[in-house]
Amino acid sequence: MQKAMGGGTVCRLEFFFFIGSTYSYLSVSRASELATRSGAELVWRPFSVRTLMREQNNVPFAGKPSKTRYMWRDLERRAMRFGVPFRGAPPYPIDADELANRVATLAADEGWCEQFTRAAYAAWFEAHRDPGQSQVLYEIVSALGRDPQACVARANEEPVRASYARATDRARELGIFGSPTFVAADGEIFWGDDRLEDAIDWTRCHATKG
């Protein structure tokens, strides 16, 4: 997808993420600035990677202590590299009911998804609090100047649940299997925070003039 502006184009890069994905923390912290710097429009797409991983019998860390220890250390190293705060391993897993992700879906529909998602990850990784828990979620939404009761109520209603399911269906159709995943205009997918720069470069190099 590309949107013409003036004599050129603004290339769109879709950012599929799940609040609860550990490596997505790095992308949530980095992607917007990198995309803006390159002239790309980042489109935030919350989806249920948990659903897709269950369908694919993909259990990345449960029962795998060595891999889990590596993951947290790898996150710490990458956070240090990019100047992203890391205060030790936060609680994991989180958002059992995927409520925070449905609020992100509502926020995406209304244009405040980035602000909410960054705040949710800050609560998780910096304060070590589960953004899917009602009290924490209410505090996050309230701090963004929105009515937390109204937002949570809407996140539990069918229109938002359906929107979340549609995003998950689209991720499935695209062949996405993990979070974060970046989707370029031509359908190329790039999985993982370590492919963020590749995704942006691909998007920019394959843009066409409007």
Cα distance between residue 199 and residue 194, in whole Å: 10
Tens of pLDDT, residue by residue over 152-198, are: 999 999 999 999 999 999 999 999 999 999 999 899 999 999 999 99
Q: Is residue 163 part of a domain?
A: yes
The tokens for 209 are 């003039």
Between 65 and 8, the more confident residue is 65
What mean pLDDT do residues 35-59 have?
95
Q: Is residue 112 part of a domain?
A: yes
Q: How confident is the model at residue 40 (pLDDT cuts 50, 70, 90)?
A: very high
- Predicted local distance difference test score (pLDDT) of residue 111: 97
Tabulate helix, strand, coil % of the chain (nearest 5). 55, 15, 35
Cα distance between residue 47 and residue 170, in whole Å: 9
pTM of the entire predicted model: 0.92
pLDDT at 207 over 80: no
Q: Is residue 37 part of a domain?
A: yes
Tens of pLDDT, residue by residue over 1-28, are: 344 434 455 689 999 999 999 999 999 9
Tens of pLDDT, residue by residue over 108-144, are: 999 999 999 999 999 999 999 999 999 999 999 999 9
**CATH code for position 178:** 3.40.30.10
DSSP 8-state symbol, 181 = E
Q: Is residue 210 part of a domain?
A: no
β-sheet bridge partners, residue 8: 5
Are 71 and 129 within 8 A, CB to CB? no
Contacts of 35 (CB under 8 A, 6+ apart): 13, 41, 42, 200
Between 204 and 24, the more confident residue is 24
Q: Is residue 1 part of a domain?
A: no
The amino acid present at 164, given as its one-letter code, is Y
Domain count, the chain: 1
User: Where in 6-97 does DSSP place strands (E)?
Assistant: 8-17, 40-46
- Predicted local distance difference test score (pLDDT) of residue 5: 37
User: Domain of 156?
Assistant: 9-205
- Predicted local distance difference test score (pLDDT) of residue 62: 81
- Predicted local distance difference test score (pLDDT) of residue 3: 45
The tokens for 136 are 């924490």
Q: Is residue 114 part of a domain?
A: yes
What mean pLDDT do residues 35-63 have?
94
Q: Is residue 180 part of a domain?
A: yes
DSSP 8-state symbol, 122 = I
Q: Is residue 60 part of a domain?
A: yes
